[in-house]
């Protein structure tokens, strides 16, 4: 369990402090799939950077498994081992000359023995389908390939929580499909996943839970069905209903998660909101 208790953060600007995150209380639990929604500047990235320990709260407390994360280096190490963060731009993560060296960088910094480093690197490479890329330079890869390396980078640290900040922003449709498939594999392994995204269609079909941020505040923490049914919330936060939701409304049926479910609804099948 990762818990925020009245956590706030301000960025220093030339015009004074800018409150990027108002006092926030929220909990992420083992095995969840969470979509983090909101327009640019809503506070999604700041939330992730605090959760991973890149930023430190100006007030409030972050707890991991009930224990507060202080400012001691061992506390931050404990947090970063448990919470992995994949940045929106994969290039900012890359430090090594080859994909294999890049993925091994984190486990090496943990001081693990060589056999354990090798096991973790091989497991991450296999999970992301990167075996043919071991000797390639990360900077030489396509956007989708870089994204997979960035995820493998974090997976080799074996976190319990994986946060992905707009991972599909530079991907083509095939890359987005592969990303979603990868998220499915990770979830089956028991990993908790939180994805910051502007893609409401993805959030609707994938997430168990949605966090909606607006102007640095958490406006709603609820099941996706509750979020997308609240048209006032969506308008206030610059969001829209998923395409399947709007199509279902036009047909007078309950919104399905996938297009093929329309036929079952039309034939009098399940009309429940998943």
Classify strands 83-86 and 161-165 as parallel, antiparallel or unpaired.
Answer: parallel
pLDDT tens digits, 164-219? 999 887 777 887 888 888 899 889 988 999 999 999 999 999 999 999 999 999 99
Quick one: fold of 2-241? Answer: Rossmann fold (3.40.50)
pLDDT tens digits, 102-118? 999 989 988 889 999 99
Question: Is the whole model's pTM more than 0.85, yes or no?
Answer: yes
Is residue 16 very low, low, confident or very high in pLDDT (cuts 50, 70, 90)? low
Question: Comparing 270 with 43, which gets the higher pLDDT?
Answer: 43
Written in H, E and C, the secondary structure of the chain is CEEEEEEEEEEEECCEEEEEEEEEEEEECCCCEEEEECCCCCCHHHHHHHHCCCCCCCEEEEEECCEECCCCHHHHHHHHHHEEEECCCHHHCCCCCCHHHHHHHHHHHCCCCHHHHHHHHHHHHHHCCCHHHCCCCHHHCCHHHHHHHHHHHHHCCCCCEEEEECCCCCCCHHHHHHHHHHHHHHHHCCCEEEEECCCHHHHHHHCCEEEEEECCEEEEEECHHHHHHCHHHHHHHCCCCCHHHHHHHHHCCCCCCCCCHHHHHHCCCCCCCC
| Percentage, residues of the chain above pLDDT 90 | 61
* Least confident segment among 34-43, 74-83, 112-121, 263-272: 263-272
């Amino acid at each position: 369990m990762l818990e925020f208790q009245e956590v706030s953060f301000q960025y220093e600007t030339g015009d004074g402090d800018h409150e990027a995150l108002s006092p926030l209380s929220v909990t992420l639990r083992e095995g969840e799939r969470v979509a983090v929604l909101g327009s640019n500047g809503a506070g999604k990235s700041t939330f992730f950077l605090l959760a991973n320990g890149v930023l430190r709260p100006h007030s409030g407390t972050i707890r991991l498994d009930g224990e507060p994360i202080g400012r001691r280096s061992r506390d931050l190490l404990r947090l970063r081992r448990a919470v992995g963060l994949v940045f929106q731009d994969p290039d900012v993560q890359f430090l090594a000359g080859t994909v294999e060296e890049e993925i091994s960088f984190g486990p090496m910094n943990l001081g693990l023995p060589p056999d354990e480093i090798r096991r973790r690197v091989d497991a991450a490479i296999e999970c992301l389908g990167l075996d043919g890329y071991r000797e390639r330079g990360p900077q030489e890869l396509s956007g989708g390939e870089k994204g997979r390396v960035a995820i493998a980078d974090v997976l080799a640290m074996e976190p319990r929580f994986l946060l992905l900040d707009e991972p599909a922003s530079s991907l083509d449709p095939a890359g987005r499909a592969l990303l979603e498939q990868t998220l499915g594999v990770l979830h089956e392994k028991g990993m908790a996943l939180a994805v910051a995204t502007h893609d409401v269609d993805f959030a609707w079909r994938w997430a168990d839970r949605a966090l909606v941020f607006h102007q640095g505040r958490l406006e709603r923490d609820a099941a996706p069905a509750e979020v997308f049914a609240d048209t006032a919330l969506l308008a206030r936060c610059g969001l829209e209903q998923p395409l399947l939701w709007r199509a279902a409304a036009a047909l007078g049926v309950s919104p399905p998660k996938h297009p093929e479910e329309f036929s079952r609804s039309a034939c009098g099948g399940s009309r429940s909101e998943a």
